[in-house]
Structure 1
Amino acid sequence: MTVSADGLPGTAAPGDPAPPPGLVVVGYFDQPAGYGVNRPRGADSWLFTWTTGGRGLLRHGSAEAPAGAGDLVVLAPGVPHRYGVETGARHWEFWWAHCQARPSWRSWLRPYDTGEGMYVVTPAPDAVHGRVEAAFRRMLADARWTGTEAPPDVAPEDEPVAVAHGTAARELALCSLEEVVLLTAGTARAPQPRPGVDPRVRRAQALIAADPAAPHTVRSLADQVALSPSRFAHLFTGQTGQSPMRALREARLRHAARLLESTDLSVERVAAASGFVSPFHFNRVFRERYGMPPGVYRAGGSMVGA
């Protein structure tokens, strides 16, 4: 069944804010039909959602994903998003966490990037569901740790949301969330190309992936797949959901992120090696995509955004 994020309900509370950056916030909700949140400016932190029952629907920029039991959906910062109970579903039961995530998680999530900073990690095998939920429960308890005594074994049942204020509590809570990321991303199957995609579109995608820094244009890509530029752009956009130049920019940003993670190249050289002519433009679009400047990303800043 085709789902559309246009069916998401409105904001549960007008102006409902996301937690401020720097905090680790975790919670467990079981929301009825009609629940929804709309953040036109996105959030300053990453949002992780793990569904345990019912159905949710999340939209991040132009990307969208339904969420059922066993689905981990992650939203990066700085991108308008909406989410709520999927139209026709009776409820949505899910764990969620807002945080500044560890840079090492990026490589685990990257294969599940659907575009614009939405990562859909599915399907996670049934065998890991229990451990994932246990990790979230432990995160909810650990977020309450004061650092002076042993962390609580379980969180109070009447307190479904916790904020980790202390450094020790934040790091301990992030350890549990890291287990969630590793268990799901390590066992789920990376998305395969959508069936029925025209071979010429796949060829263009392969050309972009092979050398994102090359001076590709709509015309040059169209020439290589024997289509007119207008026909190629129409076909590519219709079958992938984004224009050729948008796909190229995303590929260049992913390439730049890998260089920042794995090399000592200056930001200016990373920009040039990724196909960006202007360092200023590179800094702006990188920040829009990853929620932070390239230098902060390299230094281990936040990954980002219930």
Structure 2
Amino acid sequence: MTAAELPVTAVPGDPSPPPGPVVVGRYDRDPGYSVERPAGSDSWLLTWTTGGRGLVRQGTAEAYAGEGDLVVLAPGVRHRYAVAPGARHWGFWWAHCQARPGWAAWLRPYAVADGMYAVTPVPDVLHGRVGTVFGRMLADARWIGTGAPPPPAPTDGDPVAVAHGGAARELALCALEEVVLLTASAAREPAPPPGVDARVLRAEEVVAADPGAPHTVGSLAAAVALSPSRFAHLFTRQTGRSPMRAVREARLRHAARLLESTDLTVERVAAASGFPSPFHFHRVFRERWGVPPGAYRTRVRNRS
């Protein structure tokens, strides 16, 4: 697939970009522009609005996207995005990719619905930096892996690029990770749902900060000043899973990210993710991701 093969405006029946390469572009569209995919996309879609206003729908949920808003759509759910009613235009960067597992924890507080995240409001002081990251990503996507990557092109140049090669794809994914981290860390997180105990949220933050640490029910309970039994009961009642189940899920996401982005052996990935037994790690990783750790790494790299 090349940038020239992508339709300017998708219509029902047009496939979305595949999940392997990273596809990035910048559009500024007039009223009437819309993209609809009744079957959803095979890849993740991130949009960063630079001007005007857009409307993004995923299933029955919707989010208006103004300047400085990041909206992220997971694959597999019907979606539509368009210039918002009454807006004179919608300027936005967009990227299709295979999201890294670690992004889920950063995006989770901004979930609008299952598979849709609206990261807003991002402070004005970061808007320029995020735009610069996208511009660099557009240039890096064209890098062939030899010499220096090309400098960012003027904004009126070719608006779409496809990162095929391994180096270009990893650079683009690192740039997208920077965008997600910057915006999700700086935006004002929505208030927790009514009834969610702040101690449960704090325990989740402790786990997310270092999944590979030797967390136990006792250590997490101590971090939020509760007895182990009281903490375990509260956490399970409010999240629908036990504390150690949450720890295991965080460790599996961390392990997947290490397999994607490093050359550590599977045994070292297991240890770095908090799994002292490689055998146990292989079993639970396969249960979660559908393939053993080594096969997961090979599949991800073959896509690149």
Q: Same fold (TM over 0.5)?
A: yes
SS in structure 1 of the partner of residue 112 of structure 2: coil
What are the residue-to-residue correspondences of 1:172-211 with 2, within 5 Å?
172-193=171-192, 202-203=194-195
SS in structure 1 of the partner of residue 144 of structure 2: coil
Corresponding position of 2:207: none
- Distance across 1 between alignment mates of 2:247 and 2:73: 20
For structure 2, which runs of at least 5 residues remain unmatched after alignment? 1-8, 202-238, 254-272
Q: CA deviation at 1:20?
A: 1.0
**Per-residue displacement from partner, 1:86-123 (whole Å, max 9, x unpaired)?**
11111110000001122222222122122211111111
What are the residue-to-residue correspondences of 1:1-306 with 2, within 5 Å?
12-155=10-153, 157-193=156-192, 202-203=194-195, 257-258=249-250, 260-261=252-253, 264=275, 293=290
Is contact 2:12-2:37 (8 Å) kept?
no
Is contact 1:123-1:188 (8 Å) kept?
yes
Is contact 1:12-1:35 (8 Å) kept?
no
- Distance across 1 between alignment mates of 2:179 and 2:28: 20
Structure showing greater relative contact order (alpha-carbon pairs closer than 8 Å, 6 or more residues apart): 1
SS in structure 2 of the partner of residue 19 of structure 1: coil
- Distance across 1 between alignment mates of 2:145 and 2:21: 16
TM-score scaled by length of structure 2: 0.65
Amino acid at match of 2:113: G
Amino acid at match of 1:149: G
Is contact 2:70-2:183 (8 Å) kept?
yes
For structure 1, which runs of at least 5 residues remain unmatched after alignment? 1-10, 195-201, 211-246, 271-278, 284-291
TM-score scaled by length of structure 1: 0.64
> What is the aligned-residue RMSD (CA, Å)?
3.4
Deviates more, 1:150-159 or 1:139-148: 150-159
Amino acid at match of 2:152: V
- Distance across 2 between alignment mates of 1:70 and 1:113: 17
Q: How many residues align?
A: 228
Amino acid at match of 1:181: V
